[in-house]
């Protein structure tokens, strides 16, 4: 979707990132670079460390690397809190979105905006195929999992982030197709965002400019999305050596 | 400034719209301390108020079959920093009547104020009553709020109450509502309170589902911080065939606050069903981290989550 301007430093650089949880090494020296207005897909089986990478980049509780660095716009953000990263323009669309009792959709979508903007909220809803009638709905259990998932993507879009980390954006979505999600990502990129697209589905790499394959907490291949996707399809599915680490869903359930 | 103007100003500060209290189309009652400062009756509703040494006795009656279009506004409060206000009230909803009451209780300067409400409410057959009470207290926490109500919901009647105390310091709250519900009647009680400092909050809700097909919900949402203490005692009884009840209590604590929840479920008929859920804990981390990932700082994110839970 985007093409790298080699004169410009990368938006995000992940350097030799190591993370342990409960005594187990989950990220084992991850290296990753994302350029501005680039879509970078990270493919991997369940339990390969994809969601852990997302939570570590976002700075979630318990996801503090014991080695390595995260540079964002050339600034070391490894020690910054989630809020500080959010204010720098990094955000995460969670695989299993939270529920919020009493919080309206319109308010939820406006929370990441610098200034509340009704038109932007409408556009964000339309981008995920939801109409204006959702504005007054509450982001709680009265919405289906698919609706909340779409609102999660809408909230990220509404925020105009510099880096959107989308963790399995298609999981649990009932109506949105791959094409719809691709269109949403395209709009984000056109508005200046870079996207880290995390998925276990190789179809997704068609959206990406670059793809990486993660296995047992290491990036084992990065490059042309088609080639990475073919390698993933032929060598990883099925996989006979993969060691399962914590999945994003397990983390969500623990929270 | 007259007492009326002073209480209206406090009412406005608490989020109320004083124009309703001046409108001839809106039934209203304004009480400051033990003085009845204003009463406006409209067709179908009568409001008799009698001054007591430390408060007022109020009798509100909505005639059978009457539907009161606009909410009835009740404004209770005290401007002085100290004193007692006792409101002894009876509400009678005639058969098939319907009305909504919005009660604003304002104690903006309270340092040592006791606000006692003792209500008897009868919701006649097929009648509907909604009672929403919002409190506005000052920053001192010197208020004791003691609302007590005995409510009877007759056959196919509906009663809904909301008690909100989230502006200013709660002080000491001892909320005690009891409802008896007849066949196919409905009762829903909701209490939402924020406690800070050394506030003491006790919520007692009892719903007795005495008639066939009666339904009841006792719901409470309490947020506590500092050294505040919250206790919720919710009792729901399924005493008749096909009665359905639910107790739903959520308390969020921070700092050194303490929360207790004692849901009691009692069923006396094997065709009745009563369920309960109670959750006490700190703010949900997933919710918190989601909002923080949008750039909100932790304090602001907690505030949004708590205010959402408390409906404001």
Residue A64 has a pLDDT of 94
Q: Cα-flanking dihedrals φ and ψ of residue B284, to 5°?
A: -60, 125
Residue B81 has a pLDDT of 85
Domain hosting A28: range is 12-95+161-244
Nearest by Cα to B249 from B239, B264, B229 = B264
Segment A169-177 shows an average pLDDT of 72
Residue B290 lies in a domain: yes
Residue A198 lies in a domain: yes
DSSP helix/strand/coil, B301: helix
Return the structure tokens found at A116: 């509340």
A25 vs B91: CA distance, rounded Å = 66
Provide the number of structural domains found in chain A: 1
CB contact under 8 A, B295 and A97: no
CB contact under 8 A, B304 and A159: no
pLDDT band at A6 (very low <50, low <70, confident <90, very high): low
Q: Which of A60, A86, A110, A115 to mutate to test the interface with B (most CBs of B within 10 A)?
A: A86
Numbered residues of chain B with Cβ closer than 8 Å to any chain A Cβ: 250, 284-287, 289-298, 301, 304-305, 307-311
Segment B136-143 shows an average pLDDT of 82
Return the structure tokens found at B260: 């207790």
Cα distances (Å, whole numbers) of residue B20 to A160, B62, B72, B278: 42, 19, 9, 38
CB contact under 8 A, B295 and A98: no
A16 vs A113: CA distance, rounded Å = 33
pLDDT for residue B255 is more than 60 = yes
CB contact under 8 A, A103 and B308: yes
CB atoms < 10 A from the CB of B312, how many? 14
CB contact under 8 A, B308 and A100: yes
pLDDT for residue B75 is more than 70 = yes
Numbered residues of chain A with Cβ closer than 8 Å to any chain B Cβ: 58, 60-61, 81-83, 85-87, 90-92, 94, 97-103, 111-112, 155, 159, 252, 255
Reduced DSSP (H G I as helix, E B as strand, rest coil) percent helix, strand, coil of chain B, to 5: 10, 55, 30
Return the structure tokens found at B41: 């009756």
Which helix (H) or strand (E) segment holds residue A93: the answer is: strand A90-93
| Shortest Cα distance, chain B CAs vs residue A83, angstroms | 5
| Shortest Cα distance, chain A CAs vs residue B125, angstroms | 31
Residue B224 lies in a domain: no
Return the structure tokens found at A186: 């395209």
Look at the block and give the residue holding tokens 């039934």: B27
CB contact under 8 A, A81 and B296: no
CB contact under 8 A, A102 and B308: yes
| Shortest Cα distance, chain A CAs vs residue B153, angstroms | 28
A217 vs B232: CA distance, rounded Å = 47
ipTM: 0.91
| Shortest Cα distance, chain B CAs vs residue A149, angstroms | 13
DSSP helix/strand/coil, B150: strand
The DSSP line for A94-146 is -SS----TT-BHHHHHHTTSSS--HHHHHHHHHHTT--GGGTTSBSSTTS-HH
The DSSP line for A169-203 is TTTT-SS--HHHHHHHHHHHHHTT-EEEEEES-GG
Residue A176 has a pLDDT of 65
Which residues in chain A have Cβ-Cβ distances shorter than 8 Å to B294? 86, 91, 111-112, 155, 159
CB contact under 8 A, A91 and B295: yes
Residue A182 lies in a domain: yes
CB contact under 8 A, A61 and B305: no
Q: Which of A64, A77, A83, A103 to mutate to test the interface with B (most CBs of B within 10 A)?
A: A83
Residue B108 lies in a domain: no
Q: For chains A and B, what is the number of CB pairs under 8 angstroms?
A: 64
Residue B241 has a pLDDT of 98
Residue B119 lies in a domain: no
Segment B202-217 shows an average pLDDT of 97
Q: In what order do the strands lie in the sheet with B186-195?
A: B35-40, B28-32, B72-77, B98-107, B128-137, B158-167, B186-195, B215-224, B244-253, B273-281
Residue B106 has a pLDDT of 87
Provide the number of structural domains found in chain B: 1
Minimal-distance CA residue of chain B relative to A156: B294
B12 vs B9: CA distance, rounded Å = 5
Residue A247 has a pLDDT of 54
pLDDT band at B17 (very low <50, low <70, confident <90, very high): confident
Residue B299 lies in a domain: yes
List the CATH number of the domain containing A51.
Answer: 3.40.50.300
Residue B301 lies in a domain: yes
CB contact under 8 A, A101 and B309: yes
Mean pLDDT lowest among A94-103, A148-157, B75-84: B75-84
Q: Which of B277, B282, B289 to mutate to test the interface with A (most CBs of A within 10 A)?
A: B289
Residue B297 lies in a domain: yes
Residue B307 lies in a domain: yes
CA count, 13 A, side-chain hemisphere, B48: 5
Nearest to B297 among A83, A94, A97 (CB): A83
Burial pattern B299-309, b for ≥16 Cβ within 10 A else e, equals eebbebbbbbb
Q: What is the pLDDT of residues B97-138, one digit of tens each?
A: 999 999 988 888 888 899 999 999 999 999 999 999 988 888
Look at the block and give the residue holding tokens 């369920």: B275
Residue B193 has a pLDDT of 94
Domain hosting B298: range is 285-312
CA count, 13 A, side-chain hemisphere, B14: 33
Residue B109 has a pLDDT of 83
Residue A85 lies in a domain: yes
Q: In what order do the strands lie in the sheet with A67-72?
A: A24-34, A12-21, A67-72, A75-76
A56 vs A62: CA distance, rounded Å = 9
DSSP helix/strand/coil, A44: coil
């Amino acid at each position: 979707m985007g093409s790298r301007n080699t004169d410009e430093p990368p938006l995000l650089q992940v350097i030799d990132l190591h993370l342990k949880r409960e005594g187990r090494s989950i990220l084992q020296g991850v290296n990753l670079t994302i350029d501005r207005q680039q879509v970078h897909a990270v493919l991997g089986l369940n339990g390969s460390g994809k969601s852990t990478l997302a939570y570590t980049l976002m700075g979630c509780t318990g996801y503090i690397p014991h080695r390595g660095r995260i540079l964002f716009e050339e600034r070391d953000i490894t020690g910054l809190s989630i809020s500080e990263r959010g204010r720098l323009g990094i955000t995460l669309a969670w695989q299993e979105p939270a529920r919020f009792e009493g919080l309206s959709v319109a308010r939820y979508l406006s929370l990441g905006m610098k200034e509340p903007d009704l038109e932007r909220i409408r556009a964000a809803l339309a981008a995920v195929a939801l109409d204006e009638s959702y504005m007054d709905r509450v982001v709680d259990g009265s919405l289906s999992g698919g609706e909340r998932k779409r609102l999660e993507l809408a909230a990220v879009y509404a925020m105009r982030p510099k880096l959107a980390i989308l963790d399995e954006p298609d999981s649990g979505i009932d109506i949105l197709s791959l094409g719809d999600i691709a269109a949403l990502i395209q709009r984000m990129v056109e508005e200046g965002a870079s996207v880290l697209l995390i998925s276990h589905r190789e179809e997704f790499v068609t959206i990406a400019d670059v793809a990486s394959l993660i296995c047992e907490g290491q990036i084992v291949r990065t490059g042309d999305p088609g080639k990475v996707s073919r390698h993933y399809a032929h060598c990883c599915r099925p996989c006979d050596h993969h060691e399962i680490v914590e999945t994003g869903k397990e983390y969500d359930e623990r929270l | 400034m007259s007492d009326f103007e002073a209480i209206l100003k406090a009412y406005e500060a608490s989020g109320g719209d004083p124009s309703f209290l001046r409108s001839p189309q809106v039934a209203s009652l304004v009480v400051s301390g033990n003085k009845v400062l204003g009463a406006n009756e409209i067709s179908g509703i009568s409001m008799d108020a009698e001054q007591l040494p430390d408060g007022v006795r109020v009798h509100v009656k909505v005639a059978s079959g009457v539907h009161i279009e606009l909410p009835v506004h009740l404004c209770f409060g005290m401007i002085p920093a100290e004193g007692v206000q006792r409101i002894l009230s009876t509400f009678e909803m005639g058969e098939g009547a319907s009305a909504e009451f919005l009660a604003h209780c304002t104690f903006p300067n309270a340092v040592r104020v006791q606000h006692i409400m003792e209500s008897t409410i009868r919701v006649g057959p097929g009648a509907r009553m909604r009672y929403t009470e919002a409190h506005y207290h000052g920053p001192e926490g010197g208020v004791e709020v003691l609302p007590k109500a005995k409510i009877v919901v007759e056959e196919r009647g509906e009663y809904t109450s909301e008690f909100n105390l989230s502006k200013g310091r709660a002080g000491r709250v001892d909320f005690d509502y009891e409802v008896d519900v007849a066949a196919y009647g409905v009762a829903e009680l909701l209490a939402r309170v924020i406690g800070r400092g050394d506030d003491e909050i006790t919520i007692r809700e009892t719903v007795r589902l005495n008639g066939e097909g009666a339904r009841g919900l006792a719901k409470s949402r309490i947020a506590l911080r500092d050294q505040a203490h919250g206790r919720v005692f919710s009792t729901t009884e399924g005493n008749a065939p096909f009665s359905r009840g639910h107790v739903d209590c959520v308390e969020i604590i921070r700092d050194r606050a303490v929360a207790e929840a004692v849901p009691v479920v009692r069923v006396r008929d094997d065709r009745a069903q009563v369920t309960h859920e109670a959750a006490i804990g700190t703010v949900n981390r997933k919710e918190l981290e989601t909002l923080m990932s949008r750039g909100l700082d932790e304090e602001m994110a907690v505030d949004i989550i708590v205010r959402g839970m408390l409906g404001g």
